[in-house]
């Protein structure tokens, strides 16, 4: 068999290819290129670029992985048709990035049915065509539970609806038959608080839709999201009553079966926290990482700020890049575990085997099975979180005494009394139970209810403060240890201990400098000649990255531990400068309380200043320096605004890291400066900032 046959060249082309006889070197090269091109074309899909049989999977929505969802989604993308098929009177659309809106929508759907017998369709906004919303009949009701995150952005699953709703205008896109309710989730510390809700509701109104209630807004700035939702939900149920729906008594029906039995302790896999962990293309596996080189960063005062390094040496598959985040999976403190076991009358059963099974296949238990009761409370459930007002009403039916029941109902039904209670007391589930009934255990409170009620324990994220180029197998973490005091008029103040930060402090064995008693945690360790503690962690990719070109100027704005990623940025630039690479100008703003106590990494910064010379300019702000006026980072940015604007005009990249309230103030100062210096109007300023952000020249990594 000759080569033409071996390559499956059609016989009709054999004479043509054989007749090509080069008469010179140039002809030979041309003939060879022609032959290679022909062979490439004819063998495409056979020898190379074969079709990927799984290519379609890249375009499937994650919610279609579940069989039931796939069947329902495949039936129709017309929401009006789906409402008729399922005999539903209400559709509750949710748009969520972290899952809170989805959780609220599901809870609202369940309660609408259990209390009023209203069949509801709880719908991911991406599961239905936006156009079909206009077809919802007037005897149906649409609800929108929408989150805003980042720079006033919609969640990923809201994107298509977001694009459609902003184009709705005029009679050709009328929504006059639509009756709707809308509730938004946001944080008032952020500049664009609940922007997505407002844009959607305004667009619905302009297109002729009718809002049956004023739009509701949750504000997570002070942890009020749950109570804000409960208040709005109360209004929704009051609306149902006015629409003629009869309310009925709600009887608790568990969604999981719980078996607690004496026997050998269940095996505990330290990686099983992943029961709640949805790994994606932007996250790594959860692995146990040994703690190395832990040290205290504050030189004095009653606060701790911990630096530690997590060793990736045993996990070659886990890698990070400068600017990424590390997710720390904490455990709950022993005192709170004991308090909850005591309140439930289950202290003697802490080591009993806990077996869970779902009543319905669609339910996913929040705790792996088998485990022990103690491990469930230590590793899997948020037992240190506050109890919502709605939950007080739910718990009241299981109260061991009439007095306890009356107290819970009074607190749950009166928002002001509840706010007063939570303003003076950190009300966890265990503390609530002991507060309203201090002398009697809650043996009538079903364990299934406790497990269903408590949220899953989630990781806490920290900006990585090391460079992957300089330290590829060590992750540096910079953590301020939080102990927030709640003043009380009637007794000693209550302390809210930051769960993850106190856990990390405990894991390092560093002494606490706080005047309050530190929580005690259980830790795992491995032997490497010494007893070394580990923490469970995973890496999450971030877009908070240095520009590829090292000569690009940088503006770095931070306060407190917001300096963490900039420590890595500066280390990389200093290294490049040391080996002779061109490095752009760096303008660093850093703020803290006092230069002698809170100036983290001060000696490192001095060395970087020596290395980089006039390439690095450091501008500091101290808010609690004796004998001096309080100065914050945003004040320094305002003072240097002309320099900042010049650098931005010259192509600099600006990065802001720290609390969202600080970032919002910085934005305002720069916008005011742009209006003054550039003569911008308000709309011009927004266009200017939006353009910089779209091009990646203005980035923020902030938290509430």
Q: Greater confidence, 651 or 11?
A: 651
pLDDT at 452: 92
Both 658 and 564 in a single domain?
yes
Measured between alpha carbons, how far is 290 from 527 in angstroms, rounded to an integer? Answer: 10
Lowest model confidence (mean pLDDT) among 263-277, 299-313, 337-351, 576-590: 263-277
Measured between alpha carbons, how far is 374 from 430 in angstroms, rounded to an integer? Answer: 14
In a domain, 353, yes or no: no
Residues 271-279 have a mean pLDDT of 68
In a domain, 80, yes or no: yes
Both 621 and 667 in a single domain?
yes
In a domain, 92, yes or no: yes
The answer, yes or no, to whether residue 489 has pLDDT greater than 70, is no
**pLDDT range class, residue 191, cuts 50, 70, 90:** confident
pLDDT at 149: 78
The answer, yes or no, to whether residue 78 has pLDDT greater than 70, is yes
% of residues, the chain, pLDDT over 90? 62
Question: What is the crossing angle of helices 225-242 and 100-116, to 10°?
Answer: 30
Both 22 and 163 in a single domain?
no
HEC readout, 113-173: HHHHCCCEEEEEHHHCCHHHHHHCCCCCEEEEEEEEECCCEECHHHHHHHHHHCCCCCHHH
pLDDT at 60: 35
Q: Which domain holds residue 307?
A: 283-329+459-542
Both 502 and 639 in a single domain?
no
The answer, yes or no, to whether residue 180 has pLDDT greater than 90, is yes
Both 10 and 121 in a single domain?
no
The answer, yes or no, to whether residue 53 has pLDDT greater than 50, is no
pLDDT at 57: 31
The CATH number that applies at residue 70 is: 3.40.50.360
pLDDT at 277: 74
The answer, yes or no, to whether residue 37 has pLDDT greater than 70, is no
For residue 71, count other CB atoms closer than 10 A to its CB.
10
The answer, yes or no, to whether residue 630 has pLDDT greater than 50, is yes
pLDDT at 71: 33
Lowest model confidence (mean pLDDT) among 32-36, 119-123, 630-634: 32-36
Measured between alpha carbons, how far is 103 from 57 in angstroms, rounded to an integer? Answer: 26
Q: Across the chain, what does the average pLDDT equal?
A: 86
Both 558 and 686 in a single domain?
yes
The answer, yes or no, to whether residue 169 has pLDDT greater than 70, is no
Lowest model confidence (mean pLDDT) among 32-46, 121-135, 254-268: 32-46
- Write the pLDDT tens digit of every residue in 84-98: 999 999 999 999 877
Question: Which among 648, 684, 650 is positioned nearest to 666, based on CA atoms?
Answer: 648
Distances (CA, A) of 59 to 54, 63, 129, 648: 10, 12, 16, 38
Q: Greater confidence, 552 or 273?
A: 552
pLDDT at 390: 87
- Write the pLDDT tens digit of every residue in 391-443: 999 999 999 999 999 999 999 988 889 988 888 888 999 999 999 999 899 99
Both 94 and 225 in a single domain?
yes
Residues 395 and 446: beta-carbon distance below 8 Å = no
The answer, yes or no, to whether residue 3 has pLDDT greater than 60, is no
Measured between alpha carbons, how far is 61 from 459 in angstroms, rounded to an integer? Answer: 25
Measured between alpha carbons, how far is 544 from 427 in angstroms, rounded to an integer? Answer: 36
The CATH number that applies at residue 679 is: 3.40.50.80
> DSSP 3-state assignment of 491?
coil
- Write the pLDDT tens digit of every residue in 550-574: 999 999 999 999 999 999 999 999 9
Residues 514-532 have a mean pLDDT of 76
pLDDT at 625: 86
Both 145 and 10 in a single domain?
no
In a domain, 190, yes or no: yes
Q: How many domains does the chain have?
A: 4
The answer, yes or no, to whether residue 662 has pLDDT greater than 80, is yes
**pLDDT range class, residue 529, cuts 50, 70, 90:** very low
**Burial class for 500, CB neighbours closer than 10 Å (0-12, 13-18, 19+):** buried
The answer for residues whose C-beta is within 8 angstroms of residue 77's C-beta and 6 or more apart is 127, 128, 129, 132
In a domain, 250, yes or no: no
The answer, yes or no, to whether residue 695 has pLDDT greater than 50, is yes
In a domain, 90, yes or no: yes
Residues 211-239 have a mean pLDDT of 90
Q: Which sign does the torsion angle of CA 168, 173, 176, 179 carry?
A: negative
Question: Between vectors from CA 482 to CA 481 and to CA 488, what angle results, nearest 5°?
Answer: 150
- Write the pLDDT tens digit of every residue in 292-334: 999 999 998 889 999 999 999 999 999 999 999 999 999 999 9
Residues 513 and 305: beta-carbon distance below 8 Å = no
Residues 335-363 have a mean pLDDT of 92
Question: Which among 404, 343, 349 is positioned nearest to 374, based on CA atoms?
Answer: 349
Q: Which of 542, 574, 594 is the last residue of a domain?
A: 542
Residues 498-509 have a mean pLDDT of 95
Question: Which among 460, 545, 446, 455 is positioned nearest to 499, based on CA atoms?
Answer: 460
Both 13 and 68 in a single domain?
no
The answer, yes or no, to whether residue 492 has pLDDT greater than 80, is no
The CATH number that applies at residue 501 is: 2.40.30.10
The answer, yes or no, to whether residue 578 has pLDDT greater than 60, is yes
Tallying the residues shown for the chain, one arrives at 704
pLDDT at 281: 82
In a domain, 51, yes or no: no
In a domain, 121, yes or no: yes
Both 617 and 684 in a single domain?
yes
Give the strands of the sheet with 616-622, arranged side by side. 616-622, 586-592, 554-559, 653-659, 698-703
Q: Which of 508, 542, 576 is the last residue of a domain?
A: 542
Both 567 and 609 in a single domain?
yes
The answer, yes or no, to whether residue 25 has pLDDT greater than 90, is no
Residue 636: in which H helix or E strand, if any?
helix 633-639
Residues 165-170 have a mean pLDDT of 68
pLDDT at 494: 77
**pLDDT range class, residue 22, cuts 50, 70, 90:** low
The answer, yes or no, to whether residue 18 has pLDDT greater than 60, is no
Longest Cα pair distance anywhere in the chain, in angstroms? 107
Both 151 and 211 in a single domain?
yes
């Amino acid at each position: 068999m000759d080569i033409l046959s071996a390559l499956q060249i059609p016989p009709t082309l054999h004479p043509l290819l054989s007749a090509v006889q080069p008469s010179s070197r140039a002809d030979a090269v041309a003939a060879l290129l022609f032959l290679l091109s022909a062979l490439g074309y004819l063998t495409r899909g056979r020898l190379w670029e074969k079709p990927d049989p799984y290519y379609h999977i890249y375009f499937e929505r994650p919610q279609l992985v579940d069989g039931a969802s796939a069947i329902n989604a495949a039936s129709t993308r017309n929401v009006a048709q789906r409402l008729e098929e399922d005999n539903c009177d209400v559709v509750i659309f949710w748009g969520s990035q972290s899952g809170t809106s989805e959780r609220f929508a599901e809870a609202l759907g369940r309660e609408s049915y259990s209390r009023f017998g209203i069949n509801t369709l709880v719908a991911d906004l991406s599961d239905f065509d936006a156009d079909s919303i206009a077809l919802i009949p007037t005897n149906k009701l649409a609800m929108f539970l929408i989150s805003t995150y980042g720079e006033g952005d919609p969640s990923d699953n809201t994107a298509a609806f977001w694009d459609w709703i902003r184009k709705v205008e005029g009679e050709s896109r009328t929504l006059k038959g639509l009756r709707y309710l809308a509730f938004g989730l946001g944080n008032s510390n952020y500049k664009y608080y609940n922007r997505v809700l407002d844009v959607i509701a305004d667009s619905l109104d302009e297109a002729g839709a009718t809002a049956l209630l004023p739009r509701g807004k949750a504000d997570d700035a002070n942890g009020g999201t749950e109570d804000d939702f409960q208040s709005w939900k109360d209004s929704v149920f009051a609306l149902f009553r006015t629409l003629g729906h009869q309310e009925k008594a709600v009887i608790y029906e568990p969604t999981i079966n719980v078996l607690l039995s004496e026997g050998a302790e269940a095996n505990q896999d330290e990686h099983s926290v992943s029961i709640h962990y949805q790994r994606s293309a932007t996250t790594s596996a959860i692995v146990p990482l040994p703690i190395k080189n832990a040290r205290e960063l504050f030189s004095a005062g009653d606060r701790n700020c911990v630096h530690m390094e997590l060793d990736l040496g045993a996990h070659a598959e886990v890698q990070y890049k400068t600017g990424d985040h590390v997710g720390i999976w904490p455990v709950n403190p022993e005192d709170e575990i004991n308090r909850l076991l005591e309140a439930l009358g289950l202290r003697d059963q802490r080591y009993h085997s806990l077996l869970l099974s779902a009543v319905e296949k669609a339910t996913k238990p929040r705790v792996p099975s088998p485990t022990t009761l103690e491990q469930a409370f230590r590793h899997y459930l948020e037992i240190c979180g506050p109890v919502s007002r709605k939950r007080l009403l739910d718990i009241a039916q299981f109260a061991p005494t009439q007095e306890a029941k009356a107290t819970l109902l009074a607190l749950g039904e009166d928002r002001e009394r509840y706010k007063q209670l939570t303003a003076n007391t950190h009300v966890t589930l265990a503390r609530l139970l002991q507060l309203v009934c201090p002398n009697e255990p809650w043996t009538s409170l079903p364990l299934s209810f406790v497990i269903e009620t408590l949220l899953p324990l989630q990781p806490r994220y920290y900006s990585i403060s090391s460079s992957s180029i300089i330290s590829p197998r060590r992750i540096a973490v910079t953590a301020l240890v939080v102990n927030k005091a709640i003043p009380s008029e009637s007794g000693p103040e209550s302390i809210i201990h930051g769960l993850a930060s106190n856990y990390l402090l405990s894991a390092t064995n560093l002494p606490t400098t706080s005047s309050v008693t530190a929580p005690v945690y259980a830790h795992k360790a491995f032997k490497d000649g010494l007893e070394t503690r580990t923490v469970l962690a995973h890496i999450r990719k971030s877009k908070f990255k240095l520009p590829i070109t090292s000569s690009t100027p940088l503006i770095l704005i931070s306060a407190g531990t917001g300096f963490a990623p900039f420590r890595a940025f500066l280390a990389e630039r200093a290294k490049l400068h040391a080996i002779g690479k061109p490095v752009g100008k760096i303008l660093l703003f850093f703020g803290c309380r006092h230069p002698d106590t809170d100036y983290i990494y001060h000696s490192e910064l001095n060395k970087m200043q020596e290395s980089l010379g006039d390439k690095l300019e450091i501008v500091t702000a101290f808010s609690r320096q004796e004998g001096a006026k309080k100065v914050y980072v945003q004040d320094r940015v305002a003072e240097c605004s002309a320099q900042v604007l010049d650098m931005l005009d010259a192509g600099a990249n600006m990065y802001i890291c720290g609390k969202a309230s600080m970032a919002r103030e910085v934005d305002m100062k720069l916008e005011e400066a742009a209006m003054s210096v550039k003569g911008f109007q308000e709309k011009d300023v927004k266009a200017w900032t939006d353009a910089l952000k779209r091009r990646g020249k203005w980035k923020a990594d902030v938290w509430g």
